Amino acid sequence: MKLYSYFRSSAAFRVRIALNLKALAYDTQAVHLVKNEQQLADYQALNPSQLVPTLVDADQPLLQSISILEYLEEAYPAIALLPKDLVDRAQVRAFAQAIACDIHPLNNLRVLKYLQHELALDDTQKNHWYQHWIIEGFRSLETQLSQSNGQFCFGTQATFADCCLIPQVYNAKRFKVDLSGFPKIESIYQHCMALPAFHQAAPEQQPDWE
Amino acid sequence: MKLYSYFRSSAAFRVRIALNLKALAYDTQAVHLVKNEQQLADYQALNPSQLVPTLVDADQPLLQSISILEYLEEAYPAIALLPKDLVDRAQVRAFAQAIACDIHPLNNLRVLKYLQHELALDDTQKNHWYQHWIIEGFRSLETQLSQSNGQFCFGTQATFADCCLIPQVYNAKRFKVDLSGFPKIESIYQHCMALPAFHQAAPEQQPDWE
């Protein structure tokens, strides 16, 4: 498998965690988003959205991080990242979607570029935007984690929810969001980031880390 | 089943289509987003994200439209909205995610409110923002539809992809986005909106339509 990735991409980070948790070997092909390498013709042919990640498995390009997680779960079920019960599965997926749909899209690089270049926001305004959507989102996530054991979001092992939460918390810390109001989120982050599958998926461990 | 819905919500529209396609009966409970009914304590207890839709099935509240589609697919598989082949499933899911993660979150009501109230954007700037993300997203979607028969996004029946595309096109038309550059998208929209499952899920057909 080959993963087209950018070290700082939160969506690529999710897939790296899932691949590691499932003990699936892969090669990294870096796509430098700040240098606009996602716009090169070769990459566009693979991923018309010009976003990372793209996972190529058996010569098939697979797009969109959550869709890739679902694919990996179906194609490589030995180590499961979803619980068995239908309602439990729905709860895990809803948590993952809340991050992938309600928090991350507002704060990714292409949106921050628009805010800066099209709307001429200054750093304070951009930072307020960034923090606003994280804090609003985390409030809901923390509530959804009321039954968490403080190690993983749901149950006693990693799921899609942890694959999505950890990169989002990593980003929040990078932007110095005050997380003191979110003790479950912080506890799960500390626990997971100490595990090899998460730690080795972190931006600092990537071959394209700067 | 009870669906907490708002007639104009694109995410609720997706779930209404899926319920209709699967021929599942449900009651609608309106949540008026403009009147901030999503912030009422009763609704927050059900959905801490304060977003619609919420589907209640067998007394279990289910959140996030895409997670609800996955739940319905697993709990009520008789009429399938995903193909059988793993790579085909990944393609359908990636298309649905591209709408749910890359287009819709930037243009939903809470974001438009922020642009207006926090950043004091005027209507022209807000409209430019809205159209920008739709057009950028639709360019990629149109490319992904190169093999479409012009009736459905993928294959010969409706999938998650159509459940997500039709509400997004409906919104684009409401905001007068020029869709002449997206003939496949337009063709699929016209075909699907003539089908009862889609037509009856449209905002105009909802009990809370204004």
Q: B50-61 pLDDT, tens per residue?
A: 899 999 999 999
C-beta separation of A62 from A35 below 8 A: no
C-beta separation of A6 from A208 below 8 A: yes
Q: Which two tokens stand for residue B158?
A: 């409706």
Tally of CB atoms within 10 A around A122: 10
* Overall average pLDDT of the A193-203 stretch: 98
- pLDDT reading at A34 higher than 90: no
Q: Give the model's confidence band at B34: pLDDT under 50 very low, under 70 low, under 90 confident, else very high.
A: confident
Q: B85-102 pLDDT, tens per residue?
A: 999 999 999 999 999 999
A71: chain B residues, CB-CB within 8 Å:
86-87, 89-90, 93
User: What domains, with CATH codes, occur in chain B?
Assistant: 2-79 (3.40.30.10), 86-197 (1.20.1050.10)
Q: How many CA atoms lie within 13 A of B209 on its CB side?
A: 9
Least confident interval from A15-19, A103-107, A190-194, B72-76: A103-107
Ramachandran angles phi, psi of B79, nearest 5°: -105, 110
B41 interfaces chain A, CB cutoff of 8 Å: no
Q: So what's the pLDDT on residue A109?
A: 86
Q: Give the model's confidence band at A137: pLDDT under 50 very low, under 70 low, under 90 confident, else very high.
A: very high
* Overall average pLDDT of the A195-199 stretch: 98
- Strands (DSSP E) contained in B76-125 are none
Q: Give the model's confidence band at A118: pLDDT under 50 very low, under 70 low, under 90 confident, else very high.
A: very high
**Interface contact A97-B64, CB threshold 8 A:** yes
The string of DSSP letters for B112-153 reads HHHHHHTS---HHHHHHHHHHHHHHHHHHHHHHTTT--SSSS
Q: So what's the pLDDT on residue A108?
A: 87
Q: So what's the pLDDT on residue A193?
A: 98
B185: chain A residues, CB-CB within 8 Å:
none
**Interface contact B114-A105, CB threshold 8 A:** no
